[in-house]
Amino acid sequence: MKKKISFWYVPLAVVLTVLVTLGGVLAGLQALTGQHAAQLLRLLYVVHRVQADFVGDPFQTNALYDGAMKGLVKTLNDPYSEYLDHKAFQSMSQVTNGTFGGIGVVLGQKEGELIVVAPQQGSPGDKAGIKAGDKILAVDGEDMAGHSLEDCVSRVRGEKGTHVKIKLRRKDSEATYTVDIIRDDIKIESVAGEILPGTRIGYIRIAVFNEQTGADFAKTYKELEGKGMQALLLDLRQNPGGLLTESLKVANYLVPKGPVVTITDKEGRSQVYESNLPAVRYPLAVLVDHGSASASEIVAGAIQDTKAGRLFGVTTYGKGCVQTIYQLSPDTALKLTTAMYYTPSGRSIHKKGITPDQVIPLPEHPTQDVQLEAARQYLLEQLRK
């Protein structure tokens, strides 16, 4: 028997969607007065004239609106705010879910330049020699100067088995190099851990803060405790960040009871996120580098400020702002910088980064992980006390 569908079901769903959308539009229109309202009408008139009179290559009306919204957000000159069309929204969803096709390199934008935030360990990009801080100059022969971050990311990603040619420039250098990489299915394993050989030191690496990180960290942490962990080495190098909620779940295992991060919006309203951990359980060392950004800086900053552990490595990326995702339709959204965040001591790390307690540059051609070794020696000393 076929299931009977109520006559009112579809119309009511449509009406509710329209009302919700109109609610947001009307709220925005209330803020428009005089000149602003006139500018909005000008925009609508331009769209109308293009639709009515343009003679040239065929176009889709949706593309007009997509272009207008992309241009509007781009004028903010904020590398973290963008209009996400269908393709960009799908790409973002794949990353937060932990699986996507590409070369395994996280890209960002600084001072108008497209740069590598962090290559995923063992990914095609990592194997090709791409490093954090490298600047993207061209993709498949197309000069990336003036291109948006979204556009560059969409060009680099693609189906498994396809090629992409990328021209880059090393950080703080004029030397350029080009790599031809075969894309692969990239699955981000957020958390991995082990007991360092011959020690009671647990080692946990967090590659990114995605939807599974909090649960995966808790599981790994407890497994290492079961194996006799008496100290913890947390590796946040090349971690570009991710979800704030997941970084807070991790902080609850590492930061003593009290503030972890304070988020302050445009109106000066602040929300403090706190840890409920009664006390730090184990000596803690944290590895950070230029690829440690956003959510990983929240965790590292809280650990440093509360003296819950000691940081080793080099200065972090310096992303101290928070983005909110406003979904506009099932497959489009607006990603907008809506707040700044501050560490427990009240400092902003935006565009400055976090300087480790012990600065240890990694040699160009290392024969040993000197950063990890320094952190290991520190923890061994703490265990001998």
| Residues taking part in catalysis | 294, 319, 323
Contact criterion met (CB below 8 Å) for 262 and 342: yes
Q: Nearest 5°: phi and psi at 135?
A: -100, 135
Provide the residue type at 9 as one letter: Y
Q: How far apart are CA 79 and CA 323, in angstroms?
A: 11
Query: Beta strand pairing status for 332-342 and 82-84?
Result: antiparallel
Token pair of 353 as six digits: 């980064």
* Closest to 225 in 3D by CA, of 271, 193, 250: 193
Token pair of 241 as six digits: 């960040």
Please report where in the chains the tokens 């960002």 appear, as a residue: 108
Q: How far apart are CA 309 and CA 234, in angstroms?
A: 10
Contact criterion met (CB below 8 Å) for 110 and 192: no
* Closest to 290 in 3D by CA, of 135, 122, 97: 135
Q: How far apart are CA 166 and CA 107, in angstroms?
A: 13
Token pair of 359 as six digits: 């600065």
Contact criterion met (CB below 8 Å) for 209 and 234: no
Token pair of 385 as six digits: 């006390």
Furthest-apart CA atoms within the chain: distance in Å: 81
